[in-house]
Structure 1
Amino acid sequence: MQFSLRPGVARQLALAAGVLSATSFLSSCTKGGGDYAKTKSGIEYKIFKKDGTGYSPREVVGGADAAYKDRVGKVMSAHIEYRTAGDSVMMKSRERQFGVPVRIPLEALTAKQMGAEPEAFALLQPGDSGVFRFNADTLYMRNAHQLAPANLKKKGNYIILTVKAVALQDREAAMAEAMADQQKMMAEQQRQMRTYAATQDKEDDATLQEYVKKNNLTNFKKTPSGVYIIVTQPGTGGNAKPGQMVTVQYRGTLLDGKEFDASAKHPGQPFSFAVGRGQVIPGWDDALQQLNKGSKATILIPSSLAYGKQGSPPAIPANSPLRFDIELTNVADAPAPSASMAPAPAGR
């Protein structure tokens, strides 16, 4: 899996993750409330139902909910969270979605989904809260087709998923509500980004200027958005344009030199994407449009155009400007859409 150059990451797991509203609940579920039960597929779990002002355990007979068949075809809204064995938060839906719950379509389970998140969600009824413990390597292999990173497993080879099931809806109602929530999220995101960038961009730029000077990185170009580009080997032809497919070899580090990912770690998996389509972090979209085929460059990206105030734990802390040493190995036009995807002729 390429490191989370793509926005929204985890990006690293198939589902976004989030934090519960009550820290006390998370603590009580993970540290108390009896031993974990286990499904036949190996998921360890604790299920709790709302009981007055608190929670009480809810037994799931045989590790499967016979009533799940009645929920298939509906959509569950939930706040969810992923943590490492060392209790580091990996992803938070409340933060990523500005308090709006994620919506999870409930479908009939297949053999491939047993032992993964869909099976865990199937155990929950509206109002329930649950804690699920997965083998980290197993979960990563199912979702990303590789073993979990070593630094994630320092305190144990498992990942904890905590879920607060809010409500159950028909698909039509869920879709309508999701569209309204999307507008709210976008407005709040833009407001927070403006506030964040007003101060953080100034701090990051001062940091990057100091870094450029300290490391004698001369002949740099600074884009209007604040990305520093130092071309170390010119390429040929025109610069990559929005919509074109580019293939990139790269090495990403924090400014202290600590490497968090590199294409060399993914042999046989060339990293290709469409420029300017939001498939990578904004700093990459900006920088790649300043380069042409065969060029090599060092790019320095302010945190607001990378992973921002959330970072990408555990490898990238919050508010981290990043360095990438990249080689643009190919630039090509994107393939034409297939006939089934082509727009209908005028008049139809």
Structure 2
Amino acid sequence: MLFKSKFLLPVLAGAMLLQSCGDKNKSDEFYTTADGLAYKVYEQKDGEYVNRGEIAADDTSGARLGQVITMHMSYRTANDSVLFDSRQQGQPVMLPVMEPTFKGSLEDALTMMRAGDSGVFKISVDSLFANTFNQPMPPFVKPGTHFTFYLKAEKVQSEQDAIADQQKMFEEQMLAQQERAKEQIKIDDAKIQEYIKEKGLQNVQKTDAGVYYVITEQGKGPKAKAGDNVSVHYKLSFLDGKELESSYDNPMSGGQPFTFPLGQGQVIQGWDDGIAQLNEGSKAILLIPSTLAYGEQARGEQMPANSILRFDVELVDIKN
């Protein structure tokens, strides 16, 4: 993706070893530019990566200012702790080629890369954090050392072409996600029906979108309309009974109900859909398939991807 910041901020992902483009040629030497950038750049010839050797200062075959490089990128500390790996993220990154922020910078490295090239670059951590990341150096990084960047350039394009590619990629990802969701809703629906039978729930209803709900106490007030502010007490749990959180004893809200505008997309779709079925004062059980909750998005260790959620709710108040 195209990032708003100049480069990715470092994220500690744990120590692991990566297979880099230069692992098969460990005897290959690093070269150093006049600005102090240590590098090894490889090109593909007959299916093999070959060290390009020393690259002349006036070589203009690499990426130019204003262009965008689509690449896989990883970088690690001097003690081989991996901080970022785009392959672990499942997609390459797109970085615009900008003016260098210091001598021997990552921006300088990008201008040495051509489409299809792979490169290994050693960059000063002191300069990197001070001039590119623009943040204090974290305690696990030792001053005076370097980060080693491993780059594999897939495309070098104009900004316009890169944006078009990015849009196409997003559309393809969205279509793939929708197809996965179609299958997941079938899986979730079967699990919810089994749960209903196991718990002996009666008078279960289902919305068009797919939320199952049971009104356990019928309220006498009106139903909320889209745009109304609703106040809801809730208890969240998994189908196995494990409780995750409750508004009744939430210290952050002082035990007050959760208030939000209905039908505005500010909560999960299952809530917008389920709460709309209730009269003010009602209590109910909402069984929400993962596709109407957080879907493939895991929310830490407490909530894995594709989690079906049970909410025991009370619609306390409606304000137009």
Q: What TM-score do you get using the length of structure 1 for normalisation?
A: 0.48
Q: Distance in 2 between matches of 1:238 and 1:95?
A: 49
- Pair 1:229 & 2:219 matched: no
Correspondent of 1:276 among 251, 263, 271: 263
Whole-Å separation in 1 of the counterparts to 2:15 and 2:191? 37
Contact 1:292–1:331 at 8 Å: present in 2 too?
no
Unaligned runs of 5+ in 1: 1-17, 30-48, 55-78, 81-91, 104-121, 135-163, 167-173, 334-348
Matched residue type, 1:211: Y
SS class of match (2:221): strand
* 1:240 match: 224
Whether the 8 Å CA contact 1:254–1:316 is kept in 2: the answer is no
Task: Give the AA of the match of 2:195.
Answer: Y
Shift of residue 177 of structure 1?
10
Matched, 1:191 2:188: no
User: Could you say which structure has the higher helix fraction?
Assistant: 1
Amino acid at match of 1:193: Q
Name the counterpart of 1:302: 289
State the secondary structure of the residue aligned to 1:238. Answer: coil
Match of 1:123 among 129, 143, 151: 129
Matching of residues 1-348 of structure 1 within 5 Å: 27=16, 51-52=39-40, 123=129, 125-126=131-132, 132=138, 183-184=167-168, 187-263=171-247, 264-265=249-250, 266-268=252-254, 269-333=256-320
Amino acid at match of 1:313: G
Q: Quick one: distance in 2 between partners of 1:197 and 1:207?
A: 15
- Root-mean-square deviation (CA, aligned residues, Å) is 4.7
Q: Quick one: which amino acid aligns to residue 205 of structure 2?
A: K
- Classify the secondary structure of the residue corresponding to 1:240: coil
Structure 2: gaps (5+ residues): 1-7, 19-36, 43-71, 74-84, 97-127, 141-148, 152-158
Q: Which amino acid aligns with 1:192?
A: A
Counterpart of 2:123?
A: none
Is residue 221–residue 281 contact of structure 2 (8 Å, CA) maintained in 1? no
CA shift digits 1:214-273 (9 cap, x unpaired): 001110111111110111111123322111111111111111111111112244254111
Partners of 2:277 and 2:235 in 1: how far apart?
18
* 2:226/2:264 contact within 8 Å kept: yes
CA distance, structure 2, for counterparts of residue 270 and residue 229 of structure 1: 20
The alpha-carbon distance between structure 1 residues 324 and 179, as it changes in their structure 2 partners (threshold 3 A), is farther
Q: Relative to structure 1, is the Cα distance of residues 267 and 188 closer, same or farther in structure 2, using a 3 angstrom cutoff?
A: same
Give the aligned residue type for 2:213: I
Aligned CA distance change for structure 1 residues 53 and 182 (closer, same or farther; 3 Å): closer
CA contact (8 A) 1:252 1:262 kept: yes
| TM-score with structure 2 setting the length | 0.52
Shift in alpha-carbon separation, 1:194–1:246, aligned structure 2, 3 A: same
CA radius of gyration, larger in: 2
Higher relative contact order (CA 8 A, sep 6+): 1
3-state SS of 2:241 partner? coil
AA matched with 2:229: M
